[in-house]
Amino acid sequence: VEQALQALAQEAQTLDVLPLLGVASEQKSGASAFAALLDLDEQAQALPAEDMGIALKRDLSSLLTRYPGELKRTRELIVQRLKLRDSTEQKIASLQTALDDLEPEIRSEHGRIQTEVRLIQGTIIGIILLVALAIDRLQRQL
């Protein structure tokens, strides 16, 4: 990439040395365009025409000077994204390991809670049966 960039810079220097083509573009201001619509442009003075080669050379040199910086920033962003990806993968792996370590404790706690729930359900059913039996006895005595 650097070699191609150097070759382009040499070609741009060669182009800078060459004479202009003589193709000019008209410079118009907003006022002269408005005057042309109203046929008042006869009084207006035309701005000097600029050779299109000047603008093209300026654009090319701007691109050639801007490209290395943009390439450097892009490379830095790629490195940064790779570091972030690696960091995220490490965090996910450590989280997965922590979850795997907690799994036996969670399963034993789940089993303990299930046992307590069954005990409470059995106790409530027993109490309901005792209340029903007490109500039955009371109704028979009355």
Cα–Cα distance, 67 to 75 (Å, whole number): 12
- Which residues are CB-neighbours of 54 under 8 A, at least 6 positions away? 20
Nearest 5 degrees, angle CA 75-CA 14-CA 25?
95
Instruction: Identify whether 132 is part of a domain.
Output: no
Count up the domains in the chain and report the number.
Answer: 1
Instruction: Identify whether 126 is part of a domain.
Output: no
Instruction: Identify whether 140 is part of a domain.
Output: no
Please compute the mean of the pLDDT values over residues 103-130 and round it to a whole number.
97
Domain containing 92 equals: 2-110
Please compute the mean of the pLDDT values over residues 50-76 and round it to a whole number.
83
Residues in the chain: 142
Which comes out higher in pLDDT, residue 37 or 5? 5
Instruction: Identify whether 99 is part of a domain.
Output: yes
102: pLDDT strictly greater than 80: yes
> What does the pLDDT read at residue 44?
47
Instruction: Identify whether 95 is part of a domain.
Output: yes
Instruction: Identify whether 87 is part of a domain.
Output: yes
Q: How large a percentage of the chain has pLDDT more than 90?
A: 48
Which comes out higher in pLDDT, residue 22 or 87? 87
Instruction: Identify whether 117 is part of a domain.
Output: no
The pTM of the whole model exceeds 0.85: no
Which comes out higher in pLDDT, residue 62 or 130? 130
User: Mean pLDDT of all residues in the chain?
Assistant: 84
96: pLDDT strictly greater than 90: yes
25: pLDDT strictly greater than 70: no
Instruction: Identify whether 66 is part of a domain.
Output: yes
11: pLDDT strictly greater than 50: yes
